[in-house]
Amino acid sequence: MCRHVAYLGPEVQLRTLLRDPPHALHRQSWAPRRQKHGTVNADGFGVGWYAPGDPVPARYRRPGPIWADLGFTDLSRVVRTSALLAAVRDATAPGPDQEAAAAPFASERWLFSHNGAVRGWPGSLSALVDSLPPAELLTLEARNDSALVWALVRHRLADGDDGPTALADTVLEVAEAAPTSRLNLLLTDGETITATAWGDTLWYRSEPGRSTVVASEPYDDDPYWCEVPDRTLLAASRTDVLLTPLKEPTA
């Protein structure tokens, strides 16, 4: 399993969220505290962030561990943002795609990450794959389960679904096709954060009207972190956080 984090709030240096806190994503890459599956998240990392006046985010992704990347040390000091999504990866299966398989995945204003694994992939999702237009399969960002889940979400967003509907419906259809999958999804457009808790840990910390952080696990011991129950959809903005139970598909 990977670890991921998204933020909306006042402009901060990337390092304020990703490196400086005692249990920031940087440290979670070798010493996560609450990860339920896997140990070290060293198979790539990525950060996507929004710059003022530009709705389309920039990404910096690399195939190796975040702790070994000196470029990221510099970037995280000089880049400032008021919205980001970042992830460190523990690959479920070996694959050739390296950096391309590291979240966040992106399309137009959206950034996306998947913390988990699709059981029986790719065979278990063949009916869902068949439902996608060939052009969307040819533009898969990578050949792994998360890139396919992202293609399913992206397809729903392109059809006009909002973030919460796209994530909830994708989780339910994938869980039905591939039961016992772990599907913690995280999506932002720089104004909202949508996430699901489905098989691994999810937390948030909100200062209403100021900032919202949604993360696989708390990056410090601040008592204001709240744990999201499993099987839940989280929909957040800078002002509020809404939790809605997700119903397990019946077999």
Smallest distance, Å, CB 169 to ligand GLN? 20
Q: Which amino acid is at 240?
A: D
Q: How far is the CB of 61 from ligand GLN (least distance, A)?
A: 12
Work out how close the CB of 100 gets to ligand GLN at its nearest, in angstroms, rounded to a whole number: 11
Q: List the catalytic residues.
A: 2
Contact present, 61 and 102 (Cβ < 8 Å): yes
Exactly one of 23, 89, 154, 238 binds ligand GLN (CB under 6 A); which one?
89
CB–CB of 61/88 below 8 Å?
Answer: no
Among positions 116, 163, 164, 218, the unique one binding ligand GLN when judged by CB under 6 A: 116
Per the CB < 8 A criterion, the answer to whether 9 and 211 are in contact is: yes
Q: Which of residues 152-211 bind ligand GLN (CB under 6 A)?
A: none
Told to check if 106 binds ligand GLN by CB under 6 A, we report no
Gap between the Cα atoms of 101 and 78, Å rounded: 26
149 interacts with ligand GLN by CB under 6 A? no
Distance (Å, whole) CA 91 – CA 171 = 20
Question: If binding is defined by CB under 6 A, does position 90 make contact with ligand GLN?
Answer: yes
> Which range touches ligand GLN (CB under 6 A), out of 8-16, 54-62, 112-120, 189-197?
112-120
Residue 63 in the binding site for ligand GLN (CB under 6 A): no
Question: Which of 192, 185, 164 has the alpha carbon at shortest distance from 9?
Answer: 192
Identified binder of ligand GLN from the candidate list 141, 145, 189, 217, rule CB under 6 A: 145
37-56 residues in contact with ligand GLN (CB under 6 A) are 38
Stretch that binds ligand GLN, among 50-58, 73-81, 85-93, 130-138 (CB under 6 A): 85-93
CB of 190 to ligand GLN, least distance (A): 23
Task: Measure the CA–CA gap between 41 and 225, rounded to whole angstroms.
Answer: 22
Q: Verify binding: residue 61, ligand GLN, rule CB under 6 A.
A: no
Residue selected from 6, 18, 85, 101 as contacting ligand GLN according to rule CB under 6 A: 101
Computed on alpha carbons and rounded to an integer, the radius of gyration of the chain in Å comes to: 17
Query: Binding to ligand GLN (CB under 6 A): which residues in 125-144?
Result: 144
Taking CB under 6 A as the rule, does residue 216 contact ligand GLN? no
- Name, in order, each residue with C-beta under 8 angstroms of 28's C-beta and a sequence gap of 6 or more: 3, 35, 41, 88, 216, 217, 219
Burial class (CB in 10 A: 0-12, 13-18, 19+), 130: exposed
What is each CA distance from 202 to 87, 136, 165, 179, 245, in whole angstroms? 13, 29, 19, 20, 14
Binding site for ligand GLN (CB under 6 A): 1-2, 38, 89-92, 101, 114-117, 144-146
